[in-house]
Amino acid sequence: MKGKRKLAIAMFFLLGLSTLVFGAFLLYRTAQVDGWNGTSIVTGLVQDSDGTPLEDVIVSWEGIETRSLSDGLWELTNVDEGLQTIGFYKGGYVLKTIKWLVYPLYEIGDDIEDGPNNISKSYDIVLRREMVDSDISEYTGGTLILIVDGGRDELFSYSTIGVGTTEDDHEDHPLTGDLTRIELDGQGNFSIDLDGGETLLSGFHPAGSTIDITDPLIGSLETEGPDLWVGPPGVMKISFLWEESTQLSYSYRVIDRFTNDTLSSEEKSPGPDGIVMEMVPGIYRMELWGREIRDKNIRWLQADSGSNRTYEISLELGDVDSEFEDLSVRANYTLSISYMLISLIFFFGGYYIRMRGSWGVLLVLAFIGFLSQGFLTILIFNINHIFALVLVIVLISIRGEYNRIRQANMGRRFSSNH
């Protein structure tokens, strides 16, 4: 019992000393920010809401930018000390701003301290996804005209042509060598398959398309294998309807629906012209993103052979997540003084257990240790949490005998007074 009580007194003393050191250091660092106009370095980790590190996140402050690495780590140099706003942005994620109290670098020898005292290096940033799906039209098909050289009956006697939305729902039509023209209605893509399942020709089926299979083409296909039919390109014109007539910078990429290949990608400055693209017949989706706009995944854009299509797409201002970490120098002064006052509570706890104070009060004082901050972190645990855990375990283990001795002492004092 006596040894455990001494251990509890030591834990209270260590909690008080650890909290006092942290509060005093925080007061010193805050005074540095308050009194010296220099620059510092801030670093950290940026990840998504699932905890996956994010690469290529733009970290910016007052025109200075850097990007996160593949492990999500980033470093921003030459940042003014004091209360600063730092932004974090990646396409497909909500723009985040952090109001950050930047401290002078705390150096030990040639090394920058990598611990909780160097508060400029202590934040992990989480970005949430923002990519709104928007269907602007259902893609349509049309009449597919297939022109076949009737003299190629040895090739087409057992072949089929399939027309449908996807390759899995084709409606198959048999071909014969005496056909010279076939007209089929359908939408999506088509394929011409030889007997045995080998694909001779495939492609997107735009409205009014005509495929003229001539002898030279068939000959090349027989020797080189399946080919993709590409008709004359069409033009897609995209104009934007901006929210509140605001025009902002944006980036986009156009992706083929069937292959998922990126066919066009560009960063655009503000302007009223929109986008004009010459595209081979097909169905596409477009991803639009920017720091200030709401990111969108737009389906489906269709380019028809030799014709124009015009789309109007509305763009709105995007969301911004704002966080306030260290709100002000004044708040930090208040916090540092609060920690120094809390340290007095722990010193009082050591005195109180020595004087056989109430066990319940001592336990409450021990739990305050879990709410305080100490001067050192071991792995992921703050030193105050370790001291508090040891203290709680010791107090619980001595509870019975401690209360009996305390009651006996109180009884003797009562008898001596009477």
Range 248-259 burial, b when 16+ CB lie within 10 A, else e: bebbbebbbbee
Identify the pLDDT of residue 114: 45
Mean pLDDT, to the nearest integer, of 243-270? Answer: 83
- Residue 220 is predicted with a pLDDT of 41
Q: Mean pLDDT lowest for which of 100-114, 132-146, 291-305, 401-415?
A: 100-114
Q: Is the pLDDT of residue 254 over 70?
A: yes
Q: Can you give the pTM of this predicted structure?
A: 0.58
Nearest in space to 99 (alpha carbons), one of 332, 330, 326, 320: 326
Structure tokens at 219: 């000959």
Of 47-61, 149-163, 255-269, 276-290, minimum mean pLDDT range: 149-163
Does the structure show a pLDDT above 70 at 200? no
Give the mean model confidence (pLDDT) for residues 40-68.
91
The pLDDT value given to residue 215: 43
275 or 33, which is more confident?
275
pLDDT of residue 270: 75
Pair of tokens at residue 312: 């109007």
pLDDT at 418 over 70: no
The winner for highest mean pLDDT among 108-122, 342-356, 395-409 is 342-356
Query: Using CA atoms, how far apart are residues 146 and 157, in angstroms rounded to an integer?
Result: 15
State the pLDDT at residue 230: 61
pLDDT score at 135? 85
For residue 257, what is the DSSP state? T
Q: Name the more confident of 280 and 60.
A: 60
At 145, is the secondary structure helix, strand, or coil? strand
> Is the per-residue pLDDT at 54 higher than 50?
yes
Range from 108-122, 141-155, 300-314 that averages highest in pLDDT: 300-314
**How much is the pLDDT for 81?**
77
Sequential DSSP letters for 153-200: HHHHTT-EEEEESSGGG-EEEE--TT--EEEEEE-EEEEEE-TTS-EE
Confidence of residue 88 (pLDDT cuts 50, 70, 90): very high
pLDDT at 144 over 80: no
- Residue reference for tokens 């723009």: 95
Closest by CA to 182, choosing from 159, 211, 219, is 211
Of residues 341 and 104, more confidence is placed in 341
Q: What are the pLDDT digits (tens) for 274-310?
A: 899 998 877 889 999 988 889 999 988 888 777 788 9
**Average model confidence (pLDDT) across the chain:** 78
Q: What is the mean pLDDT of residues 385-402?
A: 89
Instruction: Give Rg (Cα) of the chain.
Output: 36
pLDDT at 110: 46
| Residue whose pair of structure tokens reads 């009477």 in the numeric block | 418
Lowest mean pLDDT among 95-104, 115-124, 241-250, 386-395: 115-124
Report residue 85 as tokens.
């706003």
How large is the average pLDDT for residues 225-243? 73
Confidence of residue 116 (pLDDT cuts 50, 70, 90): very low
Please answer whether residues 136 and 300 qualify as being in contact, where contact means their C-beta atoms are separated by less than 8 angstroms: yes
More confident residue, 234 or 296: 296
pLDDT value at residue 376: 82
Distance CA 303, CA 207 (A): 10
